[in-house]
A and B are shown apart, each in its own frame.
Chain A
């Protein structure tokens, strides 16, 4: 197991380096000058050079990359062009807000998706299967930002049951998961965020369960006289590694892909930060946020691989 962990970590290093090169260079491929947001209207060429020097953009790009990488390894991603705050402070702060959303959305999606998928897989072709499949297709097909807007109109504007935006009545630094008043702010973003993973996990579970139920060992279990419930327990346990892999990917997608939901709900997470950084051409924030989110994705996949190995001895032996 230790060898497996070390091997996976060894593979992750070049992936992380490749990610850093891609995300550093991506923002320079976009049209426009990164210092547009802070250049005055009548800037002269010598002022441009002065501003670029102050912001560190006067060096050749490979040198900028090397310096940026060296500082990034020490946790320093520079200062935001817009706010002049340390990027790492903004990115980590926003990441923890997104993590809060995701850590509610993923388990909810898993429990609902896995349960629905299991039911559908146990009754393939029957009306239960059709209902669950229809629900799963809706989950992956309905644009989640549209769903978010509809929920805001219904539950915040018309019914006044839930707040429309924000992270708590006093902002994120006063947010507490032990406060019911604060938790109300989580309901709609979490529900909206979990819809797509519910659909994907339900479909994956259904496929896995249906496939495993047809295998020889299941026939053997029934022949040995096990109750149907006990057989289903074995089937579900065997389906779990595949579903875990899907869930791990979903966790990574939700961490990096919540940009639209966070914008609709003005949730101060990494997605909202990315959206504003894109609009404002805040390159240091873009670089720092994309790199850290990518590393979270790589780390999540690594953890899922290891979990799968822990659960499924066949993977360990392979």
Chain B
């Protein structure tokens, strides 16, 4: 990695708002998404899914399906290798390969409504779908376990016999996959110093990422043993390593080609259809395409955890937080791996609290295996802590923003996990909201309220590779392995253009397949602008170094005698040679040594964590409980916003999704554990009709150590909105909502309860 530069640089390209390079193809419909790929002789795959939430698979008979004209193959878990029940590294996260394999195709048991049981390849999607009906599966239904409370009860039906509780020297079956604890100071002593203590129990619903493009894959297995996969994914290299492990094909024999991606938000960090497409292609000798329906996406691709959280905090009457005790239990879904650890590590991270005790439990239930969703675990946690903070501020008679400012984590404050924060911008986000036109405006009218909440997310670094190619006409291509979800291609091009003094329209960013670029971890964890941007910065500087050598050769000087500024090479000390631009130099590369490629890889360190603060005005219909968002403003520390429009887009998108969590979104299961809202009419995400223009304030507190000061921005804006909305509802109605979503029926019930009790502090959750 290059040595850090100062952040006081006078940028020419960074911080501007050029049109994204992929924009034209996307708005004209030319951009190619996974489902758009088609190949000669291609077959179509469909997946048979469990109608039970929990059942033993007694037998699967495929004969009738295989005999159907047009059907070319039927596969079950018996066609996949059995893998060890052990955590392995894959992409940015640790993965249990046995559990991943049993998610692709159920082995022995089905563990949720929609669990994949078998897959068919046929000459048309209709024949494949018909063939699913001919597969005979004999199930022995078992009682479903749908909530963490039920799953943790003594004597609860156990989902996975391999899960063992060994904590107290015992060795018994359990649904609790993991227990984590974080402790600092003396919790009992801390609460002794509190003048006010607030303790509440919260519930948040299981919600889906809601990416508009369903999962898809086209697998092509060649006669030479190589496989190619075209798919919609956040990480081609992760797909490659997972498919390699699941199918027993060496990584070097798998190429993953990234299609354009219609949203991921963490939900496309894993595989579902990709290994099936290759397996079916291997058996049939044809390319095989599979595309999920929306119903399949909701039933069987990873949502994020619902949770139960108890949060108790104490403060002195002058507003100093002295103790926090939290208990979190998250639904992992059918297999271990909820983001409860992150929930525990983020729940009080924005605040400097000397005494903490946090217990966190990862609990398996008969729901789809959860996967990441934008700051995974943190939104649930912040709903609890930021509501309690709001209540404490009220008890102390301190403005909730001032209360947060008085207790805000700053450089040197120990994090929940121990190490102190480096330079962070939390205080700056609070001050930005305090100084905003929104905060200074007056909210008037009945049934209206204003709420504020803050959020924290770690962000990650990981590995990235980049090459920067100088073409003979002076244009530049930037090749990375980072799938572009939120405009990162434009950001990478801008970084290269800045370093090389090039026009942004002369720089073409390319997302390469796994055979064409060095290892690059997933587009997730808010890492792409940070880490891949760093690799591009270094690669562009590598190209610039070589360009200076060529100029020096032309001028018969030493490279250190060549300066570069404002897009022009010039001698350090003038001696009559004519300064030269990249476009003038590029045609001469062939005669000065040949082509120039700048290259760099990073295993990025020094990740800058992110903070956001959100202010929301709501109006509550007193007769229906419907909440209207009147105004929303989010302030977020971006370190350095490369392309401010795409940073703002992330802030707005995260806020919109957080409002969805707050007001409407939830998985609704019946008593048998069958999902009842399997379409977007019933799984209610907010649309543009539900939201005002979300106002954004970008705060720039550079990440120390990063050459451009970048902080990841993709995740943290989803964290504060549910609590901000809950706090606004409280001010509008006097009701403290403790359960998400705060849908009209739930809020109406709470308001009626309050009216019946005449109690201004009535709590909503039963």
Q: Do A and B come from one complex?
A: no
* Residues in B lying within 8 Å of A, measured CB to CB: none
Interface residues of chain A, those whose CB is within 8 Å of chain B, are none
